[in-house]
Amino acid sequence: MKAIWKKSAVIALSGLLALSVAGCGAGNKKADGGKETDTKDTLKVAAASFADSLEPTVDYNGCQVVRYGVGETLVKFDKKMNVTPWLAESWKISDDRLTWIFRINDKAMFSNGNKVTGDAAAKSLLRTLEKSPRAKRMLPVVSVKMEGQNVLIRTARPVPVLPQMLGDPMFLIVDTSVTDRDYEKMGPVGTGPYVVKTLTKDKCILERNEKYWNGRAFYKKLDIFAIKDPNTRAMALKKGEIDVAADISSGDLALFKDAKKFRISEIASVRSVLARLTVKEGRPLSDKRVREALASALDRQAYCKFLLKDTFTSGGPMLPPSVHYGFNELIKSDKNRYNVGRARKLLADAGWKDTNGDGFVDKNGKNLELDYYFYSNRAELPLFAEATRSDARRVGIKINLKNVDYAEIDKIGREGSGDLCISNILTFQGDPEVFMNMYVKTNKNNSNLDNGGGFSSARYDELSDKLAVEFDPAKRRELIIGMEKIALEELPLIVYGYPRTNIVSKAEIANADIHPCDYYWETKDWKPAVIQ
């Protein structure tokens, strides 16, 4: 990428980060050196957005319920993304590999004081399977039964990574005996350290669960504010209007380098920022040469280095380097890395040429135009979108940017109504199988509604089917790398990069730590720090 592009792009793109600071409540007292800080009992937390509903079985709303410390699953992931006990203290599989047995911790309790029995956990899982189409597609469950404190899950075929799948927040355990609960506004009766007091469009108030089974939280109350603009979140924290903020943009992290005032928890995530491509017949991207031309036109390495200040690793393969699935070899083999000359030749070979001198290639009297959908809750997405428009323009592709609400992006992707649809996606829940299938495996007979782009590959599907029943870790890794190779060749997606993720807090708050999969935010471990 030429230096002149970098300079002009940074100036232009900085307009996307204009501030619109809104007050979010009072600040707090400064800590005295070497002494425990102000022991106020309420924290103010800023998040990018709220779910429209706290019903965990709808879309990905369960992520919010777990993040807020309201719900918990049978298992959770440690910082190396290994599956570990949570509400279940242990599990095993039957000899025929069709039944998984989970032992529920005898101490586990719902926030209303009811015990989490094997029966309660089984009924909660059945509720999820009944209400969530995604859960049904993920797990071929035949039955869920209880034997005392054990939950027995029988499947139609062996499911090697069923424990990992149950770490998905949609499988959080709720008290189904409570029948008059407004799940949308109050969330479920869960098992976490906090309960929902009120929820509005812009604010969620949490109160401490005084019956929490795993040690009482320090803070009595959490006020969570939805602050969509990442720079506004940063300024609210800088001004002391909030205590903790999630997903501070790369350009604003420097504001919080003073360790006496702030604490940055940052980690290489297990996320990929990618654009789903609509490749249905009749659409411009149905031609593989056009897909390759677009990918080759994008200087993803420059985006990550200059626009995002090295807080991203530039993309290519579906999975990030942090999960160790052959990333270095795959990135070297990617033929669609930045190459403007190759992009122009591919377009010409596909019959796209600028016949009228307007700067855009055309065919049969129509310019090559692509509708590109993004949401702005995450600071990098509008940057990638604008950079794509700029670089695509250089090879004659016209990009029409469409900024939509976060809640709309998956709907657009499932419908395939745009040509590109960019998202920041979790790739790994102890295993990447779910993600590997999500946007790429053939949507045969509505079996994979997340693949709205129309991509289909018999080779990819064959490897996916083998992966679904393979228990051996080494063979699973080989199959997954094979699937990544096919995706790099066929381009159902363009992967821009892999982010570092963060939570930034005032220095007087301890243990406000980010996790690789960012499910676990507000925990019982948040407490006042001792400032040295």
Give the per-residue pLDDT at 307: 94
When the candidates are 3.40.30.10, 3.40.800.10, 3.40.50.300, 3.10.105.10, the CATH number that belongs to 270-496 is 3.10.105.10
Q: Find where tokens 């490897």 sit.
A: 463
- Residue 328 has a CB neighbour count (10 Å cut-off) of 10
Structure tokens of 204?
């969620």
β-strand 203-208 against 221-226: which pairing, if any? antiparallel
Give the per-residue pLDDT at 229: 87
Closest CA to 313 of 518, 80, 517, 500: 500
Closest CA to 128 of 146, 114, 141: 141
**Averaged pLDDT, 146-174:** 98
Q: How large a percentage of the chain has pLDDT more than 90?
A: 86
C-alpha distances (whole Å) from 496 to each of 354, 385, 426 are 27, 10, 14
Query: Quick one: pLDDT band at residue 230, thresholds 50, 70, 90?
Result: confident
Closest CA to 51 of 212, 200, 158: 200
**Averaged pLDDT, 280-288:** 98
Give the per-residue pLDDT at 14: 39
| pLDDT above 70 (res 362) | yes
| pLDDT above 70 (res 95) | yes
DSSP-assigned beta bridge partners for residue 224: 45, 204
- Residue 216 has a CB neighbour count (10 Å cut-off) of 13
Fold of 72-171: D-Maltodextrin-Binding Protein; domain 2 (3.40.190)
Helix (H) or strand (E) holding 221: strand 221-226
Cα(101)–Cα(38) distance, rounded to whole angstroms?
46
**Residue count (the chain):** 532
**Averaged pLDDT, 427-441:** 96
Question: Which residue ranges make up each domain of the chain?
Answer: 72-171, 270-496
What residues have CB less than 8 Å from 212, skipping those under 6 apart? 109, 111, 191, 192, 193, 524
Give the per-residue pLDDT at 510: 96
Task: Name the residue with higher pLDDT: 36 or 364.
Answer: 364
User: For 189-206, what is each residue's pLDDT tens digit?
Assistant: 999 999 999 999 889 999
Start-to-end CA distance of the chain, whole Å, equals 46
Structure tokens of 34?
């070497």
**The two domains 72-171 and 270-496 share their CATH topology (first three levels equal):** no
User: For 14-40, what is each residue's pLDDT tens digit?
Assistant: 333 333 323 223 333 343 334 444 458
| pLDDT above 80 (res 351) | yes
526, 499 Cβ separation under 8 angstroms: no
Closest CA to 51 of 133, 165, 170: 170
Cα(290)–Cα(296) distance, rounded to whole angstroms?
10
What residues have CB less than 8 Å from 520, skipping those under 6 apart? 66, 67, 76
Task: Name the residue with higher pLDDT: 21 or 345.
Answer: 345
Q: Positive or negative, the Cα torsion across 181, 185, 190, 194?
A: negative
Give the per-residue pLDDT at 530: 76
- φ/ψ (deg, to 5) at 37: -75, 175
Closest CA to 216 of 208, 204, 205: 208
Task: Name the residue with higher pLDDT: 523 or 10.
Answer: 523
| pLDDT above 70 (res 531) | no
Cα(127)–Cα(359) distance, rounded to whole angstroms?
55
266 burial class (0-12, 13-18, 19+ CB within 10 angstroms)?
middle
Give the per-residue pLDDT at 39: 58
Rg (CA), the chain: 24
Cα(90)–Cα(210) distance, rounded to whole angstroms?
26
**Averaged pLDDT, 310-331:** 96
- With vertex at residue 182, the alpha carbon angle to CA 179 and CA 186, rounded to the nearest 5 degrees, is 125
Question: 160-190 burial by CB neighbour count: b if 16+ within 10 A, else e?
Answer: bbbbbbbbbbbbbbbbbeeeebebeeebbbb
Mean pLDDT of the chain: 92
